[in-house]
Each structure stands twice: as C-alpha cells, then as structure tokens.
Amino acid sequence: MNRSVHFTNARLVCPERGEREGELLIVDGVIADGPAPADALRVDCRGKLLAPALIDVGVARIDRAAARAGGIVRVAPMPDQVPVLDEPGAVQRLALIGRPDLWIHPIAAATRGLAGADLAEMAICLSAGARAVGTGRGWIADSGVMHRVLSYARDLDAVVITHAEDGGLTRGAVASEGETASRLGLPAAPAVAEALAIARDLMLAEETGARLHLRAVTTAAGFALVRAAKARGVRVTCGITPAHLLLSDNAMSDFRTFAHLSPPLRSEADRHAALAALADGTIDLLCSGHDPRGPEEKRLPFADASPGAADAAALLALGLGLARDGRVSLPRLFALLARAPAALLGLETGALLPGLPGDVILLDPDAPWQIDADTLPGKAGNTPFDGLPVQGKLLRMWKGGRELV
C-alpha cells in the first residue's frame, strides 16, 4: 500500500503557522518535510482549504456518521455512557472500538456511577485509555467531594471536565429564566446557577492547583469569572457550542424541542457576551455538544422532551460561518476545533506540523448547503439549526495519511 500522500495546490490553514498557499507531505501516516517520494500519491487540492481534522470534546454519544460528515477524526465522549465510564474495562472497550477511522479518547467518571459521592478509580481509568476525568451532565454538589476530585486529579496531572450549573437551582428546570421562559410558561432556573457553579469550582481549582475545564460556559457572569481566574493564573479553560454562540432563548419561542439544550439557551445579552469572550480569547475551544435524540425523546411537550442537539455533522460549517463573519480568523478557528482540544486531552496533534499525525481535511469553504434535520448524517437530526443555509463542505478526509471513504 502506498504510504505517502503529497498534497499540492493547497490553501493550508494551520493554528501554529497561519494561512498560506503551498503543499503538504504525509509519509507513513505522519506529516513530513522534504521532497515527496517518487511513488507518493498526489492529491491536487485545486486551491481548496487543507486543514487539521477536528477533535470534538464532550460528545454524549459515539456517532461515526455524524463525525465523518463534520470532519471529526477524534472524539472525547463524556462519562455518561452505558455503562458509566467509572471502571477501566468500560474505558478500554470504548477507547478501542472506533479505530482506525474514528479515535475515541474517553473522559472517565470522577465519581462512582457519577453519583457525586465516592471517588472513582481515576488512576486506573487513565491507564486504561481515558484522557481526562469529568462530572458528566451533572455538577458535583458536595464541595468536599469536588475538592478531593481536584486534588487527586492534580496528583495524576489529569484535567477535570465539569458541567457548570448548580443542580440545586436547575433541578426540574428546562429553560433559563427570562422573558421567553415566562411567556411560554416553562419551568426555568436563574442564569446565575452557572456562575455559582463556576465560582465554586474555580476557587477549588485555584486552591488545589488542579487543571479545570468548563465544558460549556454560556453566560456573561460565567465568562467574567473565567476571564478573571485566567488573569490570576488559575489553570482553567472553557468551551462552548455553536448553538450558544449563534442562538438565544428566542429560538425556543415556538416550543421547538430541538432548542431544548443543556445548558439551556440564554438571553441575547449572554449570547453577545459569548461572542465577546470568543473574540478576547476567554473561550478556548469549540465543541458540538453532540447529543442525538430520536423522535421518541423530542416529539413531546417542551418540558417533557430530552435536552440535547445533534450538531457534530454541522460543526465545521457553523465554525466556518464564524470565520466568514469575522468573529475569528481561519487559523484561530482550527485552533478552537483541533489544536486546543488536542492540548486539553494531552494529544500531539491538531496542527499541520512535521512529526504530527497526518489527520487532515480538504474542504470547500464556499460550498452552499442547508442543514436539514431529516437528512443530516448521524443517529438523529435534532439540531436547532434545522433549515439554516450554511457554507462550507467537507470534500475529503485522511486519518494518519489514510483516506476515509
């Protein structure tokens, strides 16, 4: 089998080296310098974008079709799997099932059964293939337990990935308090539930010296806390989904359950705060929050429907829209989608640099298409972006220099 691929006439986009016209060589699955071997497979990119393949942190389900459509070659699933990822056997099985096309980097449960009480066997789970530990969809209410989680993770040099909402305030709520929730008569929680959870976890991370990643920060108050903590030197990073950058709670106005998310969609003021946090670097990575839900979970009254959106297949196009609107540069976009997620998980990948894995995507940033919930690749199409015209299509994708078809 030919082990070398030579990309020519490419518009290269790299988080480390910026944007330029040129060529790229992959030899034995690794990006290489130097002249291309005579027998290398030549790929004429015809001026299209060649960029690092995406890494999606915090997916709820493994969805190969959606990942393939979105240019995603690595995913980090949350610990809320079946079974819960709180023991090494479950972690190891999940880490191996996707290869070679989709590499899975599990996030192990911080507590047994994600119950927020007894610590899980984090060290053994990390040795079995986990790349982080996390609280899953919920928040650890007991500060003593969270302190022990962070202290143990610090000693293991593992990042703790948390869901930042105070469960005491959000219990039973399906929306964020505000005009929309009041008008629709939906059970709602104050947006300060996020800031309370973030403040507590930041203080504990600062006290212990642990690495903390907030999976999705969505409120102005939350961003202010993260921004201030970073300035103090706290080892904190945060992510966000395209939904929380591009949509507000106005999207729920017709009771459309595709807009029932966790965290819930926030006010327009919070959405603008999210865009500001993206611009100033407070937000470190962009993730899909991929959580496919079928009609049996979504074709229900809003308050009874399950939260979640299936946005992995549209992640690339939605990100390109942010670049097209001038919110981020293309190199910064692929830092958010590839390099930063790789760094969070301790992976040496996510850039077009010699010695890194040949995980690359070829895309047409201008190709138009429309997001359609009925035809979106994946296990389900429950996206709040249903019907949205977008631009940017994946043309081809390679994992370790091997083309995925």
pLDDT reading at 242 higher than 80: yes
pLDDT at residue 2, as a whole number: 54
Q: How many CB atoms lie within 10 A of CB 366?
A: 12
Partners of residue 175 on adjacent β-strands: 188
Categorize the per-residue pLDDT at 99 as very low, low, confident or very high, splitting at 50, 70 and 90: confident
pLDDT reading at 1 higher than 80: no
Task: Please tell me whether residue 310 adopts helix, strand or coil conformation.
Answer: coil
What's the rounded Cα separation, in Å, for the pair 113 and 91? 13
Mean pLDDT of 288-314: 97
The rounded mean pLDDT for the chain is 97
pLDDT reading at 92 higher than 80: yes
- Whether 71 contacts 363, CB under 8 Å: yes
- Whether 383 contacts 310, CB under 8 Å: yes
Q: For residue 354, say if its preceding peptide bond is cis, omega within 30 degrees of 0.
A: no
pLDDT reading at 91 higher than 80: yes
Write the pLDDT tens digit of every residue in 173-188: 999 999 999 999 999 9
Q: pLDDT > 90: what percent of the chain?
A: 98
Instruction: Return the residue matching tokens 């670049």.
Output: 323
Domain boundaries, the chain: 53-349+371-388
Q: Residue 312: which residues within 8 A CB-CB, separation 6 or more? A: 56, 59, 63, 66, 67, 69, 70, 72, 288, 290, 378
Write the pLDDT tens digit of every residue in 350-370: 999 999 999 999 999 999 999
Mean pLDDT of 198-204: 98
Between 98 and 171, where is the model more confident? Answer: 171
Categorize the per-residue pLDDT at 334 as very low, low, confident or very high, splitting at 50, 70 and 90: very high
| Fold held by 53-349+371-388 | TIM Barrel (3.20.20)
Q: pLDDT > 70: what percent of the chain?
A: 100
Q: Which two tokens stand for residue 194?
A: 């996020």
Q: Do the strands 175-176 and 188-189 form a parallel or antiparallel pair, or are they unpaired?
A: parallel
- Whether 350 contacts 374, CB under 8 Å: no
Categorize the per-residue pLDDT at 405 as very low, low, confident or very high, splitting at 50, 70 and 90: confident
- Whether 384 contacts 247, CB under 8 Å: yes
Mean pLDDT of 290-294: 97
The residue type found at 373 is A
Write the pLDDT tens digit of every residue in 114-173: 999 999 999 999 999 999 999 999 999 999 999 999 999 999 999 999 999 999 999 999
Mean pLDDT of 77-88: 97
Strands of 236-240's sheet, edge to edge?
107-109, 132-134, 159-162, 211-214, 236-240, 285-286
Strands of 103-104's sheet, edge to edge?
54-59, 72-77, 103-104
Q: Rounded to whole angstroms, what are the CA distances from 57 to 8, 76, 183, 233?
A: 31, 5, 34, 23
The residue type found at 316 is L
Q: Do the strands 54-59 and 49-52 form a parallel or antiparallel pair, or are they unpaired?
A: unpaired
What's the rounded Cα separation, in Å, for the pair 345 and 109? 15
Partners of residue 395 on adjacent β-strands: none
